[in-house]
Amino acid sequence: MWHEPIGLVATDFRLELQYLITGWTGYGLIMIGLLFLLPVAISVGRHPDDRLYPRSRNAYIGWGVTLYLLGCAIATQVAQIANGYGT
């Protein structure tokens, strides 16, 4: 879904704060959201007393889902702008 917009953003790469904030924020939030969901995925099927079961599992789920959805929304907007919204 975002292969072309990521390609467009990556081809014009430059190390400027404004560019990094506007172009890569959505994809960064998606990645951070997936990282928050990793302990949850590892703990699936484990007993709550197990040492690999995260004590704050619900917080990880909340942060992971929130950051993932926010990243998807921002990445979608970047994709629409990169593809020429309304054309």
Q: What is the pLDDT along the chain (87 residues), one digit of tens a residue?
A: 667 777 777 776 677 777 677 778 888 999 999 999 999 998 888 888 888 788 888 899 999 999 999 999 998 888 887 777 555
Q: What is the pLDDT of residue 10?
A: 72
CA nearest to 22, candidates 65, 66, 63, 82: 82
pTM: 0.79
Q: What is the pLDDT of residue 34?
A: 96
The vertex-33 CA angle with 30 and 38, nearest 5°, equals: 125
CA–CA gap between residue 43 and residue 52 (Å, rounded): 6
CA nearest to 61, candidates 39, 87, 46: 39
